[in-house]
Amino acid sequence: MAAAIQPVRGMNDILPDVTPTWQWVERTAQAVFAAYGYRELRMPLVERTELFSRSIGEVTDIVEKEMYSFTDRNGDRLSLRPEATASCVRAAISNGLIHNQQQRLWYAGPMFRYERPQKGRYRQFHQVGAEALGFAGPDVDAELILMSARLWQALGLQDLQLELNSLGTPASRRDYRALLVEYFMAHRDALDEDSVRRLEQNPLRILDSKNPEMRALIAAAPVITDHLDAESAVHFEQLKAALDAAGVSYRVNPRLVRGLDYYSRTVFEWLTDRLGAQAAVCSGGRYDGLVEQLGGRPTPAIGWALGMERLVELVLDGAPAARVAHAYLVPVGDAAQAAALAMAETLRDHVPGLRLQTHCGGGSLKAAMKKADRSGATLALILGDDELAAGQVRVKPLRGDGEQAALDPAQLRGQLAALVGAEQA
């Protein structure tokens, strides 16, 4: 026997027991996006490598270490997308979506980064995100954050914490960067290897260090919100005022800088303490210079993305009833087997939303009923020769109390419709 082929490390299968939760989260997100007027954009998995080196930054860990890049047969350097904002902006420019227009867009799909796999972090991972292109004011910053808060509410999540910061404009950030370099250069001997490298390339990323030995040093570093330009300071205060008015609680975290070079002004993260080290569930920020950086006209923009693997893990315990079938149809005998599939189609036609699984493959009634129970269905529908002759179906409850009953087609449709309606109520 040939050896079994194993999955690629860090690229995991999402199994049928879990996919209904994924589907529910995705449907819930789609409904929330629609409520705010956001429209879906679907982008290719493969882009030119230059797109990400220009947008994310050549000295970031993503571009330096984590991208899946290759040269195709035409000699073009291509990469699997490590994130979607750059792709979204590229698509908007390529298709003229922001020429004298504003766009509210959302997307969903897989991303790829060569990282060390761990709980909640994979080399192929999935994101759902929203981008608002062409909006300069703090009102749309607040709207995007409120939209994410509404999503948590719709998913039944109550323990996510919002952290906010402002990075200012590129000019004010350059001034702050100089202060930061001066500070860390004075303490260079206390920096770890990664921080020494970042000191030369992107000193703000030192503030992201997870090294506990550097915690006190970072805590004493200059604070970016003390060095904002006047316009960015006003923008940040107006954002906080809008969130206060809407009743959204938050914590200002002046060490929150995000890992991508294109961010400016507002940055934010939603955090949880339920996923170990992988605390961030949703992250976002403003990237007012990115459209121009990628060849478009100057266009303000902001967006966020959430990690589906982490979010699904949070909601999995409260997954919706859609995980299982409503009913499992068991045909008994050759005549019933021939009639069962047609009957199942008729029931699906007459009961919108019905999830009905039909037993296939034969076997004894006892074995079929075991499969019915394992399916998680609420009801077993038994169709044998006697039921066929009487024009009825025997209904056996599989969950909770209740007696078997022989129902005619109208009664059966009514009971199934009530079952579906109770779930949707």
Non-local CB neighbours of 227 within 8 Å, separated by 6+ positions: 168, 172, 175, 176, 179
The single-letter DSSP state of residue 121 is B
The residue type of 176 is Y
Distance CA 224, CA 177 (A): 9
Of 372, 375, 374, 391, the C-alpha closest to 383 is 391
Residues in the chain: 425
Question: pLDDT at position 22, please?
Answer: 92
Question: pLDDT at position 61, please?
Answer: 67
Superfamily designation of domain 19-168+228-318: Bira Bifunctional Protein; Domain 2 (3.30.930.10)
Helix (H), strand (E) at residue 307:
strand 301-307
Whether the pLDDT of residue 37 is over 50: the answer is yes
Listing DSSP states for 340-402 in one string gives: HHHHHHHHHHHSTT--EEE--S---HHHHHHHHHHTT-SEEEEE-HHHHHHT-EEEEE-SSS-
Distance CA 189, CA 298 (A): 41
CA distances from 317 to 151, 157, 320 (A): 17, 11, 9
3-state SS assignment for residue 320 = coil
Q: Where are the alpha helices (DSSP H) in 71-158?
A: 85-94, 138-155
Backbone dihedral angles phi then psi of residue 398, each to the nearest 5 degrees: -105, -15
Q: Which sign, positive or negative, has the C-alpha torsion 116, 119, 120, 122?
A: positive
Could you give the residue range(s) of every CATH 3.30.930.10 domain in the chain? 19-168+228-318
Whether the pLDDT of residue 219 is over 80: the answer is yes
Could you give the residue range(s) of every CATH 3.40.50.800 domain in the chain? 324-424
HEC sequence for 240-272: HHHHHHHCCCCEECCCCCCCCCCCEEEEEEEEC
Looking up tokens 């929330």 gives 32
Indicate the pLDDT class of residue 123, thresholds 50, 70 and 90.
Answer: very high
Of 310, 308, 289, the C-alpha closest to 300 is 289
The tens digit of pLDDT for each residue in 50-67 reads 999 888 776 566 777 889
Helix (H), strand (E) at residue 110:
strand 103-112
The single-letter DSSP state of residue 39 is E
Distance CA 311, CA 301 (A): 25
CATH architecture of the domain with residue range 324-424: 3-Layer(aba) Sandwich (3.40)
Question: pLDDT at position 305, please?
Answer: 96
Distance CA 71, CA 24 (A): 38
123: tokens are 């080399």
Strand order in the sheet with 69-71: 46-48, 77-80, 69-71
Whether the pLDDT of residue 137 is over 90: the answer is yes
**CA atoms within 13 A of residue 373's CA, in its CB half-sphere:** 9
3-state SS assignment for residue 295 = coil
- Region 142-147: what's the mean pLDDT? 96
The tens digit of pLDDT for each residue in 225-247 reads 888 999 999 999 999 999 999 99
Whether the pLDDT of residue 26 is over 50: the answer is yes
Strand order in the sheet with 280-286: 39-40, 103-112, 124-133, 301-307, 280-286, 264-271, 161-166, 251-252
Say which residue, 201 or 413, is predicted with more confidence.
413
Looking up tokens 């759902």 gives 128
3-state SS assignment for residue 302 = strand
Helix (H), strand (E) at residue 248:
none
The single-letter DSSP state of residue 8 is P
Distance CA 280, CA 127 (A): 13
Question: pLDDT at position 317, please?
Answer: 60
The single-letter DSSP state of residue 64 is I
Whether the pLDDT of residue 259 is over 70: the answer is no
Whether the pLDDT of residue 30 is over 80: the answer is yes
